Amino acid sequence: MTSLLAEKEWRVIPEEETRSGPMQMALEEVAAETARNGGPRTVRVYRWKPSTLSLGYRQAAETVDWEFCDQQSIDVTRRPTGGGGIYHDTIGDISYSIIAPSKELPQDVMESYHLLCQPVLEAFNKMNIAADFAEREYPAIHEPACYLRGVNPAHDIVVDGQKISGNAQNRQQETVIQHGSISYKLTPETQLGCFANPETNAKTYRDRVTSINEQVGLTRKNAVRTLKETLTAWTDASQGEWSNEEIAKAKELAEAKYRSDAWVKDRSDPTETS
């Protein structure tokens, strides 16, 4: 099913991009600049390699077990979006993003979430997973962790009360970046290990969170393909790729910002000019 957004120019980045966490976040910022300057809007499905803990924008660095992440070779970066930290396992996580000018989207944030999550819900339906927005709030189990925060009906997707996807938006400089994490396979011990004093255990995690693999046993390759094809059809996107200029900008931004201690630990953007 296509949307009214399909009247605009969209590109889908080839299935499934595998890059480092800092580079993935830098590419989204660059894609927003491209859309803002009259270029194509972007949809994509991507993978984090190495596995990465992405912190929410306002999350305190003290909530991270830095020694554990170092020992497990887990990268740490910070998203420009809010919410809790997400451990993006290279196998266990499937991520997507939708990037477009804000003037083309509802200004009401909840309406915007519900619009941009339509293809995600449609993809779950094609996978025979009965996923939908949470009908009510659920209390937090461990606030620093995205999948264990209080469940929000505005943007959290659940299956029978268990969270399967978290989604977040960044709205600035006339563009919207919506990205989301979809749980393909649970890795509770590693998820919890990324956080300092997680106040819970693997059993409680499994009670709160579910995954595509647990629900239907679909292969990861087929799950990724279903999501990518649904996003493509919903926007009527053409096959695209990053330009050489975008890749060069993103590489520079990844090192200068998304891998820097100033951004990751102190939430200070070293690339901002006063």
In a domain, 68, yes or no: yes
SS3 content of the chain, % helix, strand, coil (to 5): 40, 25, 35
Q: Vertex 45, ends 40 and 48: CA angle to 5°?
A: 120
Domains contained in the chain, number:
1
In a domain, 198, yes or no: yes
In a domain, 213, yes or no: yes
In a domain, 22, yes or no: yes
Distance in angstroms (rounded) separating the CA atoms of residues 212 and 220: 9
Asked if 16 and 228 touch (Cβ cutoff 8 Å), the reply is yes
Number of other residues whose CB lies within 10 A of the CB of residue 111: 12
In a domain, 271, yes or no: no
Domain that holds residue 97: 4-130+143-257
Query: In this structure, what DSSP letter does residue 242 have?
Result: -
Rg of the chain on CA atoms, in Å: 17
List the chain pLDDT tens, one digit each, 274 residues.
456 687 899 999 987 789 999 999 999 999 999 999 999 999 999 999 999 999 999 999 999 999 999 999 999 999 999 999 999 999 999 999 999 999 999 999 899 999 999 999 999 999 999 999 999 999 999 999 999 999 999 899 999 999 999 999 999 889 999 999 999 999 999 999 999 999 899 999 999 999 999 999 899 999 999 999 999 999 999 999 999 999 999 999 999 999 999 999 999 999 987 6
In a domain, 270, yes or no: no
Cis previous bond, 144, omega within 30: no
pTM summary value: 0.95
Question: The CATH number of the domain where 27 resides is what?
Answer: 3.30.930.10
Q: Which parts of the chain are beta strand (E)?
A: 10-12, 17-19, 41-48, 52-55, 75-78, 86-88, 93-101, 132-133, 156-159, 162-172, 175-183, 238-239
